[in-house]
Amino acid sequence: MIYRGRFAPSPTGQLHFGSLVAALASYLDAKSQQGQWLVRIEDLDPPREIAGASDDILRALEVFQLEWDESVLYQSRRHGRYQDILDSLEQRQLTYHCQCTRKTLAEHSGHYPNLCRDKNLQLSEPAIRLKHLFPVHHFDDRLQGRIHLPTQGEAEDFILRRRDGLYAYQLAVVVDDIDQGITHIVRGADLIDSTFKQAQLYHYLNHLVPHYLHLPLAVNSAGHKLSKQNYAPAVLEQSAPQAMSNALMFLGQPLPKELHLAPCQEQLVWATQHWSLDKLPKKRAIPLPSAE
């Protein structure tokens, strides 16, 4: 089997330290196994996106010398494919229309007790939910070990297409990973709970789930994931070699002193040859020093 991995950023801002960590770890894991590494832009949600962010992210990857294989896939160009899959699930009666509002969900503390599953609603602008009939109860993460389905919420029916017509992340990510032949997924631990939903989709689409590795998230001192919303600085505000050395340290890889701040290419060659899962911190989150 050829290893095929990927990095799949959303263009909601420039590449920041947390996304560099995910890009670098997925790249090193792939390249240390003579694998291919693809890049996909998850531009599913135009209201949240920033003009030019996709190009900025790709340019930053180039500065870090993280070269991807094959051409970049853009989710915004794949709506037809998502709709075809949605139609096929609908024909198999695995989906239904939901009319619940945010207010209804709030009344159930954000959880969805499958209120519309048996109503057989035919709405003109529905949210479309997937029947979560065969929840996976655990999976084995390559870093975090065995992870069990959270007791609350995660086996609930989930949205595949929103009321405003936008396709949901859960649908697009699974369809894309299948179509791109992705065998190994390396991504942040904030997506652990999504893995259970995605496993249900893999099952319905008659496809084996990939191997998962969920990385510790880089969080600020308040414990929040770095993001545009909490003003994570663009990673290229410092020099690229500095940022790469910091990212390798975050990943527990013992970059030799003489390679600290060496050109990215030299750091990458060493890190690919020495990539070690045993040294990766087995945590779901790591706070950064406040200067970050």
CA neighbor of 243 nearest in space, from 261, 218, 225: 261
Residues of span 51-110 touching Zn ion by CB under 5 A: 98, 100
CB of 153 to Zn ion, least distance (A): 15
Residue closer to Zn ion by CB (options 110, 256) is 110
Give min distance, CB of 171 to Zn ion, in A: 17
Element containing residue 203 per DSSP (H, E):
helix 192-204
The HSE-up count of residue 58 (CA atoms within 13 Å, CB side) is 15
Query: Nearest approach, Cβ of 292 to Zn ion (angstroms)?
Result: 41
CB 190 within 8 A of CB 22: no
Our CB check for Zn ion shows the closer of 108 and 279 to be 108
Structure tokens at 120: 């057989």
Q: Minimum distance from CB of 208 to Zn ion (Å)?
A: 31
What phi and psi, each to the nearest 5 degrees, are found at residue 129?
-110, 150
In this chain, which of 115, 178, 191, 285 binds Zn ion, going by CB under 5 A? 115
Extract the tokens encoding 198.
Answer: 């995605």
For helices 192-204 and 169-179, the axis angle rounded to 10 degrees is 60
Q: How far is the CB of 197 from Zn ion (least distance, A)?
A: 16
- Binding of residue 116 to Zn ion (CB under 5 A): yes
Nearer residue to Zn ion within complex by CB, 127 or 244: 127
- Residue 102, φ and ψ in degrees, nearest 5: -55, -35
9 is in an annotated binding site: yes
Query: Which span (50-58, 69-77, 111-119, 226-234) binds Zn ion, by CB under 5 A?
Result: 111-119
Determine whether the annotation assigns residue 48 to a binding site: no
Annotated binding residue at 6? yes
8 is in an annotated binding site: yes
Q: Which of residues 120-179 bind Zn ion (CB under 5 A)?
A: none
Pick from 160, 184, 156: which is nearest to 172 by CA? 160
d(CA 9, CA 35): 20
Element (H, E) at 39: strand 36-41
List, as residue ranges, the binding site for ATP: 228
Binding residues for Zn(2+): 98, 100, 112, 116
Positions that interact with Zn ion (CB under 5 A): 98, 100, 115-116
Binding residues for L-glutamate: 6-10, 42, 169, 187
